[in-house]
C-alpha cells in the first residue's frame, strides 16, 4: 500500500495514535501550519486591509471552490466555499423550492443528518401553504418520488451506518418525477469518486473538515449546475453574491455565476488553511483512493469479525453499498470506544450502540488497520470497557 506514502507524509500524525476518525475531523496537513502563519504574520499583520486584494483574500471562496470542484466531478466555476453546511443546505433548498412553486413536498430520508432536516423544517414551517417535509426510509426514496415532490434532499452517505445512496439513479428518478435534487456530500467529498455534473445533480453541498482535512470549523461548499445557476434566487443572500458588491446598491442583483450563492465576508483564515489542506489532493486519483478505502475497510471488517465476536457489523457488507466508514453495533460500545481511545486507537460512538470507524487512505495503511483490530480485540476480550467512565461524546458527525 505504498502508493499513498507521499500523501501520508504531508500530515502530522501524533505518535502512538491510530486515527480512524478522519471521517469526523481530518488530521493536520503540514501545509496548513505554514499557511496559517503566513496569513497572520505576512498578510493580516503587514498588509492589513490591503490583503483583501493584495493577498487574494477576496478570491478565496472561488479559488478553493475550484479545488473542490475537481474532487466532486464539477466543472470549473460551479463551486463556491463559505458558511456552514446547514446554512448552505437552507440556502440551496430555498433557491430550489422557488423553482417548483406549484409543488408542496420536500422529500428526504431518515438517514439524513438531523441538521439538514432541521433546516428544511425551519424553511417549510415559515413558508406554510401546505408545504411538507416528508421523511421516508432510505430504501423507500425511489418509490416516494412522485409528482408532489418539489425537491429531493438527501445525504449520500449515512453518518451512522455508512450506507451509500446511488446518486445517479436517484437523480434520474427525481428528474423524471419533475423534482430538483440537492445532495449533501458531507461524507462523500474526498471519500468517493463523485460526478455531480455527469449525474445531472442540480445542487450539492458538503463540508470540508472531514475527508478534505480543512480543520475544525472549515467552511462548507456549494455546487450549482451551470445551466441552473442563472435561475437561482436564494432567500438567504448577501452583498458578496451581488453582481457588483462595491456598488453598494440598495437592491440585490445576483452575480452571474455560482458567486451569487456567496453571502457575507468570507472566513479568510479557515479558507486559507483549507486551501493549503487541499494541496494534498494534487495528483490523487479518486478511483484509486476508493479502491484503497475498500481494501482497508474490508481488512478491518475481516479482522474484527475474526477476533471480536461481541461486535455485529452495522454497515452494508457490500463495499459498493457504503461510503468510507464502517460501524459495528455493541451494547457497551460507548465504554468500549472510550477504552479503545485510551489505548490510542481513535474512532467514535453514535447512540445508541454504534462504534464508528473511518478509512482514509491518504494517511492510513494496512499496518494501521491491523493495529486497530488488534487493540480492539484486546479491549473487548479483556472486558476493559466494563470499568470505563462515561465517554465525553464526540462532536463532529
Tell me, residue by residue from 344 to 383, as one string, x for binding to a second copy by CB under 8 A and - for no binding. Answer: --x-x-xx--------------------------------
Q: Is 184 a catalytic residue?
A: yes
Type and span of the H or E element at 371: helix 366-381
Quote the strand ranges of 156-214, DSSP E. Answer: 180-184, 203-206
Q: Total residues at the site for a second copy (CB under 8 A)?
A: 96
Interface residue with a second copy among 1, 3, 28, 375 (CB under 8 A) is: 28
Q: Which is nearer to a second copy, 27 or 319 (CB)?
A: 27
Q: To 5 degrees, how large is the angle CA 360–CA 362–CA 367?
A: 70
CA-to-CA distance for 372 and 90, rounded, in angstroms? 38
Tell me, residue by residue from 91 to 120, as one string, x for binding to a second copy by CB under 8 A and - for no binding. Answer: ---x---x-----------x--xxx-xxx-
Q: Which three cell numbers stand for residue 155?
A: 445525504
Tell me which stretch binds a second copy (CB under 8 A): 140-148, 235-243, 282-290, 331-339.
235-243
Q: Tell me if 302 contacts a second copy by CB under 8 A.
A: no
> Are the C-beta atoms of 318 and 41 separated by less than 8 Å?
no
Q: Tell me if 332 contacts a second copy by CB under 8 A.
A: no
Identify the active-site residue in 11, 90, 113, 385.
Answer: 113
Identify the active-site residue in 35, 103, 163, 210.
Answer: 210
Please report which residue ranges of 44-176 form alpha helices under DSSP H. 45-47, 51-54, 60-72, 85-98, 114-127, 141-144, 167-176
Q: How far is CA 393 from CA 215, 261, 315, in A?
A: 19, 34, 21
CB of 28 to a second copy, least distance (A): 4
CA-to-CA distance for 300 and 308, rounded, in angstroms? 11
CB of 122 to a second copy, least distance (A): 4
Cβ neighbors of 131 (< 8 A, separation 6 or more) are 97, 104, 105, 106, 124
In the region spanning residues 240 to 279, those forming contacts with a second copy, defined by CB under 8 A, are 240-242, 246-252, 263-271, 273
Q: Is 146 a catalytic residue?
A: no
CB of 74 to a second copy, least distance (A): 22
Q: Tell me if 157 contacts a second copy by CB under 8 A.
A: no
Identify the active-site residue in 19, 209, 211, 330.
Answer: 209
Q: Tell me if 221 contacts a second copy by CB under 8 A.
A: no
CA-to-CA distance for 57 and 328, rounded, in angstroms? 43
Residues designated catalytic:
113, 184, 209-210, 356
Amino acid at each position: 500500500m505504498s502508493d499513498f506514502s507521499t500523501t501520508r507524509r504531508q500530515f502530522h500524525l501524533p505518535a502512538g495514535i491510530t486515527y480512524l476518525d478522519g471521517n469526523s475531523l481530518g488530521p493536520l496537513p503540514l501545509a496548513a501550519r505554514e499557511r496559517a502563519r503566513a496569513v497572520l504574520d505576512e498578510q493580516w499583520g503587514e498588509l492589513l486591509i490591503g490583503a483583501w486584494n493584495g493577498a487574494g483574500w477576496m478570491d478565496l471562496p472561488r479559488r478553493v471552490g475550484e479545488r473542490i470542484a475537481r474532487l466532486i466531478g464539477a466543472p470549473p466555476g460551479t463551486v463556491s466555499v463559505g458558511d456552514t453546511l446547514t446554512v448552505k443546505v437552507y440556502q440551496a433548498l430555498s433557491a430550489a423550492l422557488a423553482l417548483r412553486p406549484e409543488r408542496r413536498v420536500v422529500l428526504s430520508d431518515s438517514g439524513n443528518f438531523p441538521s439538514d432536516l432541521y433546516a428544511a423544517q425551519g424553511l417549510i414551517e415559515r413558508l406554510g401553504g401546505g408545504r411538507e417535509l416528508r421523511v421516508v426510509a432510505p430504501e423507500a426514496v425511489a418509490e416516494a418520488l412522485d409528482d408532489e415532490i418539489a425537491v429531493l434532499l438527501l445525504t449520500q452517505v449515512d453518518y451512522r451506518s455508512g450506507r451509500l445512496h446511488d446518486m445517479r439513479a436517484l437523480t434520474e428518478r427525481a428528474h423524471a418525477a419533475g423534482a430538483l435534487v440537492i445532495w449533501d456530500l458531507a461524507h462523500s467529498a474526498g471519500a468517493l469518486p463523485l460526478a455531480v455534473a455527469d449525474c445531472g445533480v442540480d445542487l450539492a453541498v458538503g463540508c470540508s473538515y472531514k475527508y478534505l482535512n480543512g480543520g475544525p470549523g472549515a467552511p462548507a461548499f456549494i455546487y450549482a449546475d451551470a445551466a441552473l445557476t442563472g435561475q437561482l434566487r436564494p432567500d438567504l443572500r448577501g452583498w458578496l453574491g451581488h453582481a457588483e458588491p462595491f456598488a453598494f446598491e440598495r437592491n440585490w442583483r445576483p452575480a452571474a455565476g455560482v458567486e451569487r450563492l456567496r453571502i457575507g465576508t468570507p472566513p479568510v483564515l479557515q479558507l486559507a488553511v483549507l486551501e493549503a489542506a487541499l494541496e494534498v489532493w494534487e495528483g490523487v486519483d479518486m478511483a484509486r483512493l476508493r479502491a484503497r478505502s475498500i481494501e482497508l475497510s474490508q481488512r478491518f471488517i475481516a479482522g474484527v469479525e475474526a477476533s471480536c465476536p461481541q461486535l455485529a457489523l452495522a454497515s452494508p457488507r457490500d463495499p459498493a453499498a457504503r461510503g468510507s466508514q464502517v460501524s459495528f453495533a455493541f451494547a457497551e460500545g460507548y465504554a468500549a470506544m472510550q477504552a479503545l481511545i485510551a489505548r490510542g486507537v481513535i474512532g467514535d460512538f453514535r447512540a445508541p450502540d454504534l462504534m464508528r470507524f473511518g478509512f482514509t487512505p491518504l494517511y492510513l495503511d494496512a499496518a494501521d488497520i491491523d493495529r486497530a483490530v488488534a487493540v480492539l480485540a484486546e479491549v473487548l476480550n479483556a472486558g476493559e470497557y466494563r470499568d470505563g467512565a462515561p465517554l465525553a461524546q464526540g462532536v463532529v458527525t
